[in-house]
Amino acid sequence: IDSVTNKSYLRISNLASMEHRKMDVPFICELLNDVFDFNSKIVLTPPLAESICDEGMANMIRLSSYLGKGFYICVYGSNNTSKFKARHSINSWKRFVLDHHMMNKNVILVEQNPKAIDRGVFHNDIISFGMDSLLVLHEFSFTNQDYILTYIKETFYKLFNQELKIVFVSNSVLSIQDALSSYFFNSQLVKIRENKYGLICPLNCIKYPSINTIVSQINSNLENDLEVVYVDLNESVKNGGGPACLRNVCYFNSVELRLVNKKYMFSEILYSRLVNYIVDYYPETLSVLDLTSIKFVRRLNQVNDSIIRLFNS
């Protein structure tokens, strides 16, 4: 519903800023072609050239009125960093708007605060999040943040005739380092029903009393009873954080749902198969020597083959 062509578009982020991550792209292309029946209504656009760094949904927030068209906050990396290089190019978002036939008024391109990048905030999804008419963000999320937030609030009201609720988290309440350690901003808001929201938080958040205060602010701004659930992501965070991401909600209408391969739809049967798969195949340990072992590589290939069989059985 956000495209002027009334089509659904998917693009795989090219992850071009990191050599070991961009290797995933061909496999993800192959996988998505199996998940979706791409046709005239749902289109897979090709990954961008490696000269344009694209990290995808990690740097996007979609706001909206309930089930209305979206207003996109697309965050790109600043060139004013001194310690770390930014990973997301402004040109990737310009191509996103063009290739996915977006209305310019429904998109804002925002520069990430270089102070945050230099402290290890490589993706916007670990310093802000939002959904529907709520935006939760840290003091050091964006460059020229006061001006940007005023523009976002005014634009949101013009688009939806509704006030955007903003929960502002100051650095004195939750420092950038504590935001990274707790992974709080990687929490995911989900809509349980029309008047009920859920917040899925990393378990580490329990260790930070100030986060309880922030969650209370979120609850009061939603004007509903917020259900908070905690998920243990510690092992994933220790392995770089990528697998720990809780972000990404997509809304499909009934026609679009029929374009999803049924074998990938979650069910109790699939859940049981996945649990058994993990018990049977998932390595309990990993050492440097394993990475030099032909036997271990063959074992990993067998694991890959088995999960393909699992989804085709």
Q: Provide the pLDDT confidence category of residue 40 given band limits of 50, 70 and 90.
A: confident
pLDDT averaged over every residue in the chain:
90
Mean pLDDT value across residues 293-298 = 92
Q: Does the structure show a pLDDT above 80 at 312?
A: yes
pLDDT at 192: 85
DSSP state of 228: E
Q: Are 129 and 179 in contact (CB under 8 A)?
A: no
Q: For the segment 100-146, what is each residue's pLDDT rounded down to a tens digit?
A: 999 999 999 999 999 999 998 888 988 999 999 999 999 999 999 99
- Residue 117: the pLDDT is 92
Give the pLDDT score at 225: 79
Written as six digits, the tokens of 126 are: 């670990």
Residue 68 vs residue 149, higher pLDDT: 149
State how far the alpha carbon of 179 is from the alpha carbons of 128, 173, 201, in Å: 10, 10, 12
What would the pLDDT profile of 199-221 be if each residue is shown by its tens digit?
A: 999 999 999 999 999 999 999 99
pLDDT digits (tens, 9 = 90+) for 239-278: 766 665 766 667 778 888 888 899 999 999 999 999 999 8
Query: Cα dist. 311→243, 257, 261, 299 in Å?
Result: 21, 18, 10, 19
| Rounded Cα gap, residues 102 and 50, in angstroms | 23
pLDDT at 20: 86
pTM of the full structure: 0.90
Structure-derived torsion over alpha carbons of residues 244, 174, 189, 27, reported in degrees to the nearest 10: -30
Helix (H) or strand (E) run with residue 222 in it: helix 209-222
**pLDDT for the residue numbered 238:** 76
One-letter amino acid at 63 equals: L
Residue 308 has pLDDT above 70, yes or no: yes
Asked if residue 36 has pLDDT above 80, the reply is: yes
Return the percentage of the chain with pLDDT > 70, whole number.
96
d(CA 230, CA 246): 11
Most distant pair of Cα atoms in the chain: their distance:
62
- Write phi, then psi, for 135 (nearest 5 degrees): -130, 125
pLDDT (average), residues 173-185: 93
